[in-house]
Amino acid sequence: METKGFSGNEISKRDKEALQSETWQKTREAMKTEVQHFTYAPEIQHFATVKVNKNDNVYGVVWGNLVREYLKTAYSKEDKQADVVSDGITYKILKRREVTVFYDADENTLFDVENKRLEKEYEYVMQEDKATVGSEKRIVNAAEAEEKSADLEKKDADKETGENQEEKSEGKSESDVPADNIEVPDPVSVKQMAKEKLEKELKADKDKTFAEPVIGYLLKRCEDDLGLAQDVIQEHKTWEKCLDYIYCNAEKQAIHKKAVVRSDIVYEWAEDYYRKDDKVEEERKAKEAERLRKERIERAKKVKSMQNNSKAVTPKEKSNEAATPKEKPKRNNMEIEGQLDMFSLMGI
């Protein structure tokens, strides 16, 4: 069966305009509400550019271009995290043990792909690129060969000069020369620190129904992944913030305020939180919280001061109040001065 690639060259101008239309934007927003999972397939039928139905295990045009761009530019690198620009939009990618997760620029999960499937697709893309390069390859002309030869001669001529530069480099300051005695954290120590931190937070958590399985997963992952252990021991990373991150992601997928999320997705979210480079953002939030706290204290002081001022009475006001005779109660017009009250005489 002939396979079909998802390169940008196969998309016509009319198709691109349609993708950028308001209808596609609404469709893309709707697709965000549900994380799609693309599994391994024995044949590369999933390279089709057009998605026929929701569960056909096909990327579709936009996500297909994104996956292809990732395979060409970042898949072979050692870094598990990558930023990839596809069709003018920036996406974030995180490679896990079983799957690779694709996010939008706001770090909302879009979809994930089994690594086994990406491995096969990578081979396909590389073979395709080799064929393209082979078709465009040409013989180097005489001028280019002569220029290359001149470059080699120039390198030979500069070789002795380089030796002199090495002698001068001995006079560099210690800050310019890489130090060989920089202490590198022991991997065993890092993993032990991560283990102790997670176990301490688990013990302190009042509701362990949710904490035990998630933290248990993180403990196992830290044993296998030194990078994750290093992320966990960061001072600004806490289980409480991790829990908030999981709840926030679940709310984004909720329909009518209800959401059902698979446990493996929850574990992915937990790992995502610790791998997120959010130190600058956390520092900004901490400064903002401190500013608001100081403002509340200042407002409270002003209110208290106004209350004290309203209650305070000066000595002069007190003397005037004492000097002013109290007004005698008015007598009834029917009463005559010196006349006894009959009821008083009767003891009533």
Per-residue pLDDT of the chain (348 residues; tens, 9 = 90+): 444 444 445 556 666 565 555 544 554 554 445 677 888 776 665 565 677 777 778 888 888 889 999 999 999 888 889 999 988 999 999 999 999 999 998 888 899 999 999 988 888 888 876 766 555 554 445 456 566 666 666 666 666 566 555 555 554 444 454 544 556 578 889 999 999 999 999 999 988 888 999 999 999 999 999 999 999 999 999 999 999 999 999 998 888 888 888 989 999 999 999 998 888 888 888 889 899 999 999 999 888 888 888 766 555 555 565 556 666 555 555 554 545 455 554 555
Name which of 113, 123, 121 is nearest 91 in CA terms. 113
The whole-angstrom separation of Cα 85 and Cα 70 is 9
The whole model's pTM is what?
A: 0.40
Cα 146 versus chain centre, distance:
52
The whole-angstrom separation of Cα 49 and Cα 58 is 8
The whole-angstrom separation of Cα 119 and Cα 136 is 26
Query: In which element (H, E) is residue 91 found?
Result: strand 89-95
CA-angle at 26, arms to 6 and 51, nearest 5°: 30
The structural domains of the chain, with segments of one domain joined by +, span 8-135, 187-275
Write the CB contacts of 196 (distance below 8 Å, at least 6 apart in sequence).
none
